[in-house]
Each structure stands twice: as C-alpha cells, then as structure tokens.
Amino acid sequence: MARGAKLGAGACRVFYAEWRARRHARKSRDAKADAVRSKAAARVADLLIALGPTYVKLGQIASCRKELEKTPWAAALQRLQDDVPGFDGGGAEIARCLGPRYAAHFASVDDRPVAAASLGQVHLGVLRNGTRVAVKVQRPALREIYDRDVTLLRKMFAFLDRRKWKVGVEQKWLDIFDDAAALLYREIDYRVEASHCERFRSDFSGVPWVAAPAVYPELSGETVLTMEYLPGVSLKDLDAIAADPELDARSLATRLGQAYFLQFCKHRFFNTDPHAGNLAADGGFAPGGRLIFYDFGQAAALSADEAAGALGLLEGIIDADAAKTVDAFERMGVVKNGFDRAAVEATIASNFRSGLVTSRAQRAVAAGEPGDDAGDGAPAVLGDFQLPATLAFASRAMSQMQGVGLALDSEFEFIAASAPLVAELAIEEKGVATYLQDELKKKLKLG
C-alpha cells in the first residue's frame, strides 16, 4: 500500500510538472519550462531508485524512448543507467544459486561488486584453476518483486487509458507498458543473456576489433552468469581514453558505427542497449583499440527483409536516390499498405535536394538544385509510416549508439562510418557483376 501511495504521488508530480511546463512554453518561457521539468525529473529518478529494480528498469527504458529524446526527462533518467546502488551479500548469493558447483569450481569471489545495475551486479572471482572470471548475479527475489510491481503498474496504466489521457495518436498507455513489461521479464533470465552473448561472439569471431566475454555455461543459470574476465577502459571515461596511447577515440567511434552496421545488415542480430556503461575498449588487438560489448540482456533479431531493407536504405541515402530509399522502406515494412508512393518519393527527393537528408558519404544529388522546398510534403506523408516493434528496438539502439559515437568524436556520423562496408556487403549480397552494373547505371544517371 505504501509503495502504491509513493508511486501515485510520483505520477501526480510528473503530470503537475508537465502541466506547469506547458503553461510556461505557451507563453514562450522555454527556459522556465525546462527548469520545471528538470527539477521534477531529478526527483522522479530518486523515487524510482528508492522503489526498487522494477521501477529503475522502467525508467531506463523510458529514458531511451523517442518521445523523450533531448528532453530534461531523458537527461535525468539517463543517470539510472549507472547511478544504481548495489546490494550486500552478493558473493553469498552466488554461492547459494550455484550450489555444489560453487565449491567444486570456485576458489574465491570478491564480496564487493565492481559494477551494479538495476537487475543485478558483477563480482570478480577466481576459479580453482587460477582463471579470473566476472560473475553477474541477480538481485534476490527479483521475479517476485517484478510480479508484485507489474500487477500494480498495469492497474495504473489502465486507469490512464480509461481517463483517455493519450500519449500518441495510435498508442495507448497500457500498450506501452505491456511492451516494457515484456522486456523486463525477458531480461531476468540470464540463460537468455548467455545465448545472446554467444551468438554475438560467433557473429564477430572473425573481426579483431570487436570482443565480448566468453560464457561459462556450466557455471551459469537463470540468476547467475559466469563470464570471462575481460577488462577495458569504459567508453564513459573519455579522459582515460585520451590518456591511453593505444586508444583513439575517433577510431573507436567509427568502429562502433561499423559494428552496428554489421549487426543490422549482415548478422541480423543486435544489442539493443549500447549505452556507454555497457561498452569499453582495450589496446593491443587492433590499431586505435578494440571495442568490448559487455551486457546482452537486451538483444533483438531482424528478419531477412528488414536487414536487406536497412542495407538498401543506406545505399539510397548515399546515392541520394529517392526511389531506392522508398523501395527500402517498403522492404523494411515501415510504410503502410496502400501508402502514397509518389508523395513519399517526392518528399524524400526534396529532402535530398535541400540537404535536409544528407551525409558526408553522399554522392552528388542526381537532379535539381537546393531549394526552399525542404520537407514541404513531410507532414502530409507522415501518416504513411509505421514502426514495427523490432525496428523500434533498432531505433533505440541507433539513438544510444549515436550518442556514444558523438561523445567520442564530435563529427561522428553513422552513415559515413558504415559507407566503406556498404559496398563490401552489397557485393557479397548481389555478386560482383550485378554490383558493377548498378554502379555503372548510377554514373550514367549522374551524367
């Protein structure tokens, strides 16, 4: 009951702050509106930490939603990615969860965690053969906490829908919550995370500039995950990266973009949570540094059409080819059945000509001159678009990856980073002859 009261008070604080902020905004007092939101968001973040892991995780998910991007709410909730207190007795919890396997295989486990997150924390350990490992252990009774909190929260979001407080034209509060709840439950089974990590390692086994820790399946389970100890410099620590002669921030940013290009377009499997706290780098394996991916609790797979469409989209933008871009949208499933192709294509062509959609890797625009028609048709065609669930995860990953890339290199651009690999993969997918024919057609078209 007390938790429900705290949650209700927090929700009221959010709605009251947003009401005040919008009043300020209507009077062109944007600075005051941002100040109101920032103060309320900081208090909400404190409340979520106090309420426990379910609420912290929901706050993390909310911080990455497109609707909150570049708002004071997102800025305050981002601290939930890192600023989460650990729990006592983690070493004992590892021993309890592993049972006889612990005594048979472990020489020791440090009781003090080296990292803590919403769902669990990581301890360093040593196996009896002297191998150092990192052991991720879940917070005790986490599933029971989830069950209790999710029941309460569903009632609250259903109430918002009954009051018809809309969050978007086609999406209800309860739908948003159910999507988030599905993510919550999927992430608390560490066996799923182990399989994600092993798939990622297999996908990048031939790439010397990407790494992820190996998993010890015999020493892992639903609530414990034992992994190779793979230390590195966190991508949050820009000063340490700058001070390390074996690391180059610009190279790391480019490789992060290329790693995500390969995940999206080649392997069709991607880590959906690439915030800087889940990424590190080490030297000695590749010039400029090797990227290390640590956390695979959240991952998703793309269909063959979605991956091929993503590759086509990049080609379309690089070639400034509106028709190819629309073909890619169709293949990805981001335009609705019966959409107005002519209007969408004309809007994209206009955006290419005006420079509204551009990239350092972009070729010369095929026809037309820059004009003042940028985005003229955009409002009219927005209703033709939709975002399938998997691509919503991809959009979130792109947003986080872009933020990390820009922190490392202020000129980072995903398309420019990916461009050298786009041609390689296109040749691999189409064959050399077809690729060269396509390139010749482009050159003839450009005159």
Positions marked catalytic: 273
Q: Which residue is it, tokens 């921030």?
A: 249
Separation of alpha carbons 48 and 95, rounded Å: 29
**Would you state the structure tokens that stand for residue 340, as one six-digit string?**
């107005």
- DSSP run (H or E) holding 378: helix 378-381
What interhelical angle do 173-187 and 190-203 show, nearest 10? Answer: 80
Cβ(200)–Cβ(70) under 8 Å? no
Q: How many beta carbons lie within 10 A of that of residue 430, not counting itself?
A: 13
**Would you state the structure tokens that stand for residue 13, as one six-digit string?**
């604080």
Q: Provide φ and ψ at 242, rounded to 5°.
A: -65, -30
Q: Provide φ and ψ at 330, rounded to 5°.
A: -60, -45
Q: How many beta carbons lie within 10 A of that of residue 87, not counting itself?
A: 14
What interhelical angle do 2-26 and 142-162 show, nearest 10? Answer: 50
Exposure of 156 by Cβ count < 10 A (0-12 exposed, 13-18 middle, 19+ buried)?
middle
Cβ(44)–Cβ(76) under 8 Å? yes
Q: How many beta carbons lie within 10 A of that of residue 279, not counting itself?
A: 26
**DSSP β-bridge partners for residue 109:** 125
Beta strands in 378-420 (DSSP E): none
SS3 assignment, position 280: strand
Contacting residues for 284 by C-beta, under 8 A, at least 6 apart: 246, 290
